[in-house]
Structure 1
Amino acid sequence: MPKSRIRKKDDSTPPPAKQQSINLSSGRSWVAPLMLAMFLIGLAWIVVFYVTTGDMPISALGNWNIVVGFGFIAAGFVVSTQWK
């Protein structure tokens, strides 16, 4: 069986790489607090609706209060897409 050829290594060294500072701040520090606030407002809205047996937060909405609470939670998910 024939032997494979041995490759010679280059004796040259690559130039040193430049060190670049990485900026971890994306300038969107408002996203995480707003997202959490929307989640908590939506959750609190639904919990208050169930605990008060439909009298609060807005009694005129009736069962639509659940939709409002889930709307806040959905808005939190929409805001979360801006998080980097």
Structure 2
Amino acid sequence: MPESKPRRRPAKAPVQTPSSKTQQPNAVWFLPLMVTLMLLGLVWIITYYISDGKFPIPDIHNWNIGIGFAIALAGFMMTTRWRS
């Protein structure tokens, strides 16, 4: 009985190493700024609720909640870029 030919395996793609730019850690100020933005947004919203709308900016009413969330969101978005 004739012997069958072995199957050819597909060539493996070369492993791409991250560039040197992505391997560098963040600047020293990055982590403190990230945490500060998240906490500042939280404090902004809590201040608005505790003061019954009199602080931080009384004339914009519920937009204070949006400002607080935007500040906190900026901090959370920075977490996607954080490298140690």
Give the TM-score range, shorter chain.
0.5 to 0.7
Which structure would you say has the larger Rg?
Answer: 1
* Cα deviation code 1:6-43 (max 9, x no counterpart): xxxxxxxxxxxxxxxxxx97242222101100011001
Q: Quote the residue 2:62 is aligned against.
A: 63
* Cα deviation code 1:49-70 (max 9, x no counterpart): 0010001000011001000000
SS at match of 2:81: coil
Structure with the larger helix share: 2
Could you state the TM-score of these two structures normalised by the residue count of structure 2? 0.66
Q: What is the aligned-residue identity percentage? A: 39
Unaligned runs of 5+ in 1: 1-23
Give runs of aligned pairs for residues 2-81 of structure 1, distance below 5 A: 26-81=25-80
Letter in 2 for 1:50: Y
Supply the distance in 1 between the matched residues of 2:29 and 2:59 (Cα, whole angstroms): 33
Q: For this pair of structures, how many residues does the alignment match?
A: 61
Unaligned runs of 5+ in 2: 1-22
Could you state the TM-score of these two structures normalised by the residue count of structure 1? 0.66
The runs of at least 4 aligned residues of structure 1 exceeding 2 Å deviation read none
Supply the distance in 2 between the matched residues of 1:73 and 1:27 (Cα, whole angstroms): 20
